[in-house]
Amino acid sequence: MPLHGDSILAVGTVAFDTIRTPFGVRERVVGGAGTYAGWAASRISGSVGLVSVIGEDFPQSELEQMQAAGMDLSGVELRQGEKSFFWSGAYHMDLNTRDTLATELNVLADFKPVVPEKWRNAKWLLLGNIDPVLQLSVLDQMEERPQLTVLDTMNYWMESAMDGLLAVISRVDVVSINDDEARQLSGQHSLVRAAKHILSMGPKYAIIKKGEHGALLFQNNANGALEFFYAPALPLEEVVDPTGAGDTFAGGFLGHIARCGTTDFDTLKQAVVVGSALASFTCEAFGAERIRTVSEEELLERVDTFRTLVDFTPIAAVAI
Amino acid sequence: MPLHGDSILAVGTVAFDTIRTPFGVRERVVGGAGTYAGWAASRISGSVGLVSVIGEDFPQSELEQMQAAGMDLSGVELRQGEKSFFWSGAYHMDLNTRDTLATELNVLADFKPVVPEKWRNAKWLLLGNIDPVLQLSVLDQMEERPQLTVLDTMNYWMESAMDGLLAVISRVDVVSINDDEARQLSGQHSLVRAAKHILSMGPKYAIIKKGEHGALLFQNNANGALEFFYAPALPLEEVVDPTGAGDTFAGGFLGHIARCGTTDFDTLKQAVVVGSALASFTCEAFGAERIRTVSEEELLERVDTFRTLVDFTPIAAVAI
């Protein structure tokens, strides 16, 4: 598969998750940041080069489905005699908060990502949620700075690897994190101040994800003033499993940008909507089931729902 | 002052609040649901007839300012020798949650609201947050059912006066409550399901307020399908004091509808935006200071910010 203009390189875990929600349990479904991001991006853009590691317990049929969807797995190391990364978590009633029940690093313990030769000049790079040291290693292997690099991370790395995380943040274009994490990273409660703080750390754009409340996109415009965009989340009647929603968002976000080939604020706003729409599908089923079957028609319809959801007739006058 | 087509009748407290936030304290500022709703509605619509009760400690200068702004206080009972209702609360760091430090009912303890004769055929009725028994009494005094009745309430009444609250809900057109309260009232965590539940209790429209995350408006359309609208809140750099934001929202919401004179879903969507814009001003200062000085130009500019905040170039295609 040759590298095209819309090909995306992504690093992230390919793993097993056992997920408990108040409404059910699923044992060892295929998950991981790389899996969700890869499925999301490859559905709407060109090929996705995944950089990851799996054990011999990872099912061949899954790998075949990923390849059929346009994922190049030449950067996914297969370790014979070892087990894939495993995570288990239990969601609370609100399906917004969760406890980690188990983390088994397995193959991830001493993973050294290797970017395949032909992917080292990819224009679009997604540093999915994984140890910042590994994200830095991927950055270092690129021949030149990609046109846009998106970093997704989580609070775990703020507690255990802050130095590495700060180093990665200073070298990317977009940081995508959730609201609590933005507050933790910046020491600011106000999300506007948190975004300003993150933008001062190097990135051109900051995305703050608010789960069921949507996502905010920030940039400093040409005049140095903060500009922002708010994509609300679609209110869902039933959230089955939010695992991977953030990874799906990141993959869909960069997928849309890669497909358009432009990185202006207008394209990024659209990309936040496309990422949010894809993430809403991920929440509708356990694991990555829904994201791999969503049709173009369904996705376009949902994107349009995001538009009509917030659309109102302009208000010409208020009397005071 | 004659009753015009855009005159609003509102019941709610007119009181003193002592407010503690992590950034400051204000002692005995003028507050209360009736005060905030009255200021908001009278700024953008016609006259507002307030039904409330105050003690002799309430400053005459405040009453004069309210009258000058277009509030008819003939329904505000003044009790000589008694003290006005007093509430004191302390906000947590997030400025979204708070603890009540003191509640002194004073004149409110045995308040019997009397709707002045000329206000009994008002077309627009706001049942501001107060004991449901008092809201029912106001409803009973109306000569005919108003064109639109909006109910604002809070969890306190769900715990202490559920029967009365259910009776009021069954007789109003719009219920406006916050997300936690919607969940408590409906027993549903999903806000979509909570809205369905509330609509099944009688009202034609349900508004679920999500604080810094905006507000949702729901209706069952002509086909019986749930329709919704999401007005995100404007991300603010600094929230000074959110006290009265919900009351301001309710007053601004009904004020816009009264000014337009129509109750279709399009007008209600606009009204949610106008109410949210006014509420964002309330959050910028202690008490009702900001809402009584906001200019037409400032309000129109903020309403436009709510539009651009969520505006994105339509997405014609996604490749799958």
Give this complex's ipTM.
Answer: 0.89
pLDDT digits 0-9 by tens, A79-126: 999 999 999 999 998 888 899 999 999 999 999 999 999 999 999 999
Asked if residue A319 is part of any domain, the answer here is no
CB proximity list for A264: less than 8 A, separation 6 or greater = none
- Count the neighbouring beta carbons within 10 Å of the beta carbon of residue A99: 10
Pairwise CA distance, residues A80 & A82, whole Å:
6
Pairwise CA distance, residues A167 & A67, whole Å:
32
Which chain A residues contact residue B259 at CB under 8 A? 318-319
Q: Say yes or no to pLDDT of B10 above 90.
A: yes
Are residues B319 and A259, on separate chains, in Cβ contact within 8 Å?
Answer: yes
Asked if residue B2 is part of any domain, the answer here is no
pLDDT > 70: percent of chain B? 99
Are residues B213 and A216, on separate chains, in Cβ contact within 8 Å?
Answer: no
* Amino acid at site A143: E
Q: Kindly indicate the confidence band of residue B2, based on its pLDDT and cuts at 50, 70 and 90.
A: low
Asked if residue A301 is part of any domain, the answer here is yes
Q: Does the CB of B265 have a partner CB in chain A at under 8 Å?
A: no
Q: Say yes or no to pLDDT of B1 above 80.
A: no
pLDDT digits 0-9 by tens, B179-227: 999 999 999 999 999 999 999 999 999 999 999 899 999 999 989 899 9
- DSSP character at residue A47: -
Are residues A214 and B236, on separate chains, in Cβ contact within 8 Å?
Answer: no
Measure A320 CA to nearest chain B CA, in Å.
Answer: 5
- Count the neighbouring beta carbons within 10 Å of the beta carbon of residue B81: 6
Asked if residue A2 is part of any domain, the answer here is no
Q: Does the CB of B95 have a partner CB in chain A at under 8 Å?
A: yes
pLDDT digits 0-9 by tens, A33-60: 999 999 999 999 889 999 999 999 999 9
Asked if residue B318 is part of any domain, the answer here is no
Of A308, A237, A233, A276, nearest to B191 by C-alpha is A237
Pairwise CA distance, residues A188 & B95, whole Å:
13
Task: DSSP for B71-99, please give it.
Answer: EEEEEEEEETT----EEEEEE-TTSS-EE
The predicted structure's pLDDT at residue A4: 83
Asked if residue A317 is part of any domain, the answer here is no
Pairwise CA distance, residues B80 & B89, whole Å:
27
The predicted structure's pLDDT at residue A1: 54
Of B147, B146, B107, nearest to B130 by C-alpha is B107
Residue where the block lists tokens 């070298």: A171
What mean pLDDT comes out for the span B67-78? 97
The predicted structure's pLDDT at residue B42: 94
What mean pLDDT comes out for the span A145-150? 97
Which chain B residues contact residue A318 at CB under 8 A? 44, 256, 259, 274, 296, 299-300, 303
Pairwise CA distance, residues B252 & B85, whole Å:
23
The CATH number given to whatever domain includes residue A285 is 3.40.1190.20
Overall number of domains in chain A: 1
Q: Say yes or no to pLDDT of B229 above 90.
A: yes
pLDDT digits 0-9 by tens, A255-304: 999 999 999 999 999 999 999 999 999 999 999 989 999 999 999 999 99
Pairwise CA distance, residues A174 & A206, whole Å:
6
The predicted structure's pLDDT at residue A2: 61
Asked if residue A320 is part of any domain, the answer here is no
Are residues B273 and A193, on separate chains, in Cβ contact within 8 Å?
Answer: no
Q: Which residues pair with residue A175 across a beta bridge?
A: A151, A206
Taken in order B277, B312, A210, B265, the sign of the CA dihedral is: positive
Q: Does the CB of B193 have a partner CB in chain A at under 8 Å?
A: yes
Taken in order B156, B160, B161, B165, the sign of the CA dihedral is: positive
pLDDT > 70: percent of chain A? 99
The token pair that represents B242 in the structure block: 């959110």
DSSP helix/strand/coil, B147: coil
Enumerate residues 44 to 83 of chain B having a beta carbon within 8 A of any beta carbon in chain A: 44-45
Domain boundaries, position B146: 8-309
Pairwise CA distance, residues A148 & A139, whole Å:
12
User: Which whole-number Å values give the CA distances from A102 to A13, A85, A99, A180, in the listed order?
Assistant: 16, 11, 9, 22
Measure A84 CA to nearest chain B CA, in Å.
Answer: 29
Q: What is the mean pLDDT of chain B?
A: 94
Task: DSSP for A55-96, please give it.
Answer: ETTS-HHHHHHHHHTTEEEEEEEEETT----EEEEEE-TTSS
pLDDT digits 0-9 by tens, B137-172: 999 999 999 999 999 999 889 999 999 999 999 999
Asked if residue B320 is part of any domain, the answer here is no
Are residues B296 and A320, on separate chains, in Cβ contact within 8 Å?
Answer: yes
Q: How many CA atoms lie within 13 A of B258 on its CB side?
A: 33
Burial class (CB in 10 A: 0-12, 13-18, 19+), A293: exposed
Pairwise CA distance, residues A59 & A81, whole Å:
14
What mean pLDDT comes out for the span B116-135? 96
Q: Say yes or no to pLDDT of A195 above 70.
A: yes
